[in-house]
């Protein structure tokens, strides 16, 4: 291409205007690039909820509820009620702003306060009864042997019966007398006429568990090993199956198992598989990539596939949490978090590393007072400093609001702000790298 512009000569006045215009244009693009880069590396996350459209997919604040209404309806909040809801942004935030838009006929509250806590939404569940050893566990104390059957501790009274049934004494876990009290006592096993429920059997490479004198097969050896050690199963030959009832049902992987198949990662729980939305969700929920078990499509398809698992959902049944400060475990089940007293018990429920939590996150909170926002008529707002809860593991912020008088709320907004720090820069760059790899790199 022929370029004739180098032969053009501008008048001195227009040349100056041209140079200044170029400088301003370059500055504009530089500032625009810096602004876009800042928004990418240090994003502001804005989450909303409209009480007039409670079922709208645009609502990004979740579990809107009050002391008397779950879920909360139409935005009418009584003076005696506490309005609670959850926000699940992905990122590192040290500041947040909360605002409420009130209806025109609503009285503006004078003593409205907000408290915020940070953890995982499932860890906000009420605490349930402590868990003992899992069914099928083999335990020993000073030469006395026990099996956990039907949730109860059953003692083998006769050593001869223990040997005749085929149990290996080396497969029994040594525990203390206090540990044994974690499960209620059951009937003693007096002879070798039958196997107690939850006894584990292996024939060739096929594992079974006794239940009501019926053998229930495991899907495969990987499913068995997600629950038990191979030494816990009594080896038998094919003749053992003759005349015994084998169930048509199967035992799958332990609830809470992380599995990968066809470049997707799933959570397996209660016969269902939940595909995790993306890598950012996986990390935000505290999962460990080293825990992901590769499975074939056929093995995954045994489970009923559900909708995507996102940061707005609580951890499913079977998830194990661990507080390293208190050396205490919890398992999620039926809307409760059940404490597990020690590591020996915890290992009978899972063979992988747990999700890390901090029990202090339940009691530690930050607060602010809602006041009328400047230049508005029906909006009350307050600013949070999240420093005191910033370091707690978890992606879920739970807000509890007390208005002090009856109000009618139209909508709610929470905006989270990312501070400009080296740590946040590195975290954002890491997230970008993972997203690019997930989108463009073939494993």
- In order, the DSSP letters of 138-165 are EEEETTEEEEEETTEEEEE--HHHHHHH
Q: Topology of 257-352 in CATH?
A: TTHA1013/TTHA0281-like (3.30.2390)
* Helices 12-41/422-440 angle, 10° precision: 80
Other Cβ atoms within 10 Å of 102 Cβ, number: 22
- Largest Cα separation within the chain, whole Å, is 111
Looking at the chain, the domain(s) classified CATH 3.30.2390 span 257-352
Q: How many CB atoms lie within 10 A of CB 50?
A: 19
The pair phi, psi for residue 362, each rounded to 5°, is -75, -35
User: Which two three-digit tokens encode residue 127?
Assistant: 């605490």
Q: How far, CA to CA in Å, does 230 sit from each of 10, 138, 201, 235?
A: 87, 12, 10, 10
pLDDT tens over the chain, length 443 residues: 455 555 566 677 777 777 778 788 878 777 666 655 545 555 688 999 999 888 888 999 999 999 888 888 889 999 999 999 999 998 888 899 999 999 998 988 988 999 999 999 999 999 999 999 999 999 999 999 999 999 999 999 988 889 999 999 999 999 999 999 999 999 999 888 889 999 999 999 999 999 988 999 999 999 999 999 999 999 999 999 998 999 999 999 999 999 999 889 999 999 999 999 998 899 999 999 999 999 999 999 999 999 999 999 999 999 999 998 899 999 999 899 999 988 899 999 988 999 999 999 999 999 999 999 887 778 999 999 999 998 899 999 999 999 999 999 999 999 998 866 565 555 555 555 555 554 433 34
CA separation for the pair 137, 229 (Å, rounded)? 10
């Amino acid at each position: 291409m022929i370029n004739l512009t180098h032969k053009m000569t501008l008048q001195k006045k227009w040349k100056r205007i041209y140079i200044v215009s170029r400088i301003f244009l370059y500055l504009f693009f530089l500032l625009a690039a810096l602004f876009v880069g800042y928004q990418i590396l240090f994003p502001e996350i804005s989450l909303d909820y409209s009480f007039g459209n409670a079922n709208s997919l645009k609502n990004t604040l979740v579990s809107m509820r009050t002391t008397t209404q779950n879920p909360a309806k139409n935005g009418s909040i009584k003076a005696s009620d506490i309005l609670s809801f959850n926000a699940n942004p992905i990122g590192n935030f040290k500041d947040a702003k909360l605002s409420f838009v009130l209806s025109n006929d609503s009285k503006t509250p004078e003593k409205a306060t907000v408290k915020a806590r940070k953890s995982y939404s499932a860890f906000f569940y009420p605490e349930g009864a402590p868990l003992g050893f899992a069914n099928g566990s083999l335990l020993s104390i000073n030469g006395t042997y026990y099996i956990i059957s039907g949730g109860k501790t059953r003692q083998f009274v006769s050593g001869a019966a223990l040997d005749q049934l085929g149990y290996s004494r080396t497969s029994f876990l040594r525990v203390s007398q206090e540990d044994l009290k974690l499960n209620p006592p059951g009937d003693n096993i007096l002879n070798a006429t039958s196997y107690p429920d939850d006894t584990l059997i292996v024939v060739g490479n096929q594992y079974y568990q006794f239940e009501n004198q019926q053998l229930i097969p495991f899907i495969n050896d990987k499913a068995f090993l997600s629950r038990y050690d191979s030494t816990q199963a009594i080896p038998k030959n094919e003749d053992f199956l003759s005349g015994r009832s084998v169930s048509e049902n199967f035992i799958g992987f332990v609830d809470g198992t992380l599995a990968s198949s066809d470049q997707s990662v799933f959570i397996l729980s209660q016969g269902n598989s939940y595909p995790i939305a993306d890598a950012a969700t996986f990390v935000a929920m505290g999962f460990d990539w080293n825990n992901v078990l590769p499975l074939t499509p056929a093995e995954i398809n045994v489970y009923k596939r559900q909708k995507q698992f996102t940061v707005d959902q609580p951890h499913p049944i079977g998830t194990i949490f661990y507080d390293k400060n208190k050396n205490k475990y919890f398992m999620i089940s039926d809307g409760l978090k059940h404490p597990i007293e020690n590591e020996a018990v915890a290992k009978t429920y899972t063979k992988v590393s747990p999700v890390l939590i901090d029990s202090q996150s339940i009691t530690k909170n930050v607060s602010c007072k809602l006041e009328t926002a400047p230049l508005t008529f029906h909006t009350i707002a307050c600013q949070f400093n999240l420093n005191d809860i910033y370091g707690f593991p978890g992606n879920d912020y739970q807000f509890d609001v007390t208005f002090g008088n009856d109000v009618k709320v139209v909508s709610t907004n929470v905006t989270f702000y990312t501070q400009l720090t080296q740590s946040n820069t590195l975290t954002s760059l890491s997230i970008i790298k993972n997203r690019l790899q997930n989108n463009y790199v073939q494993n």
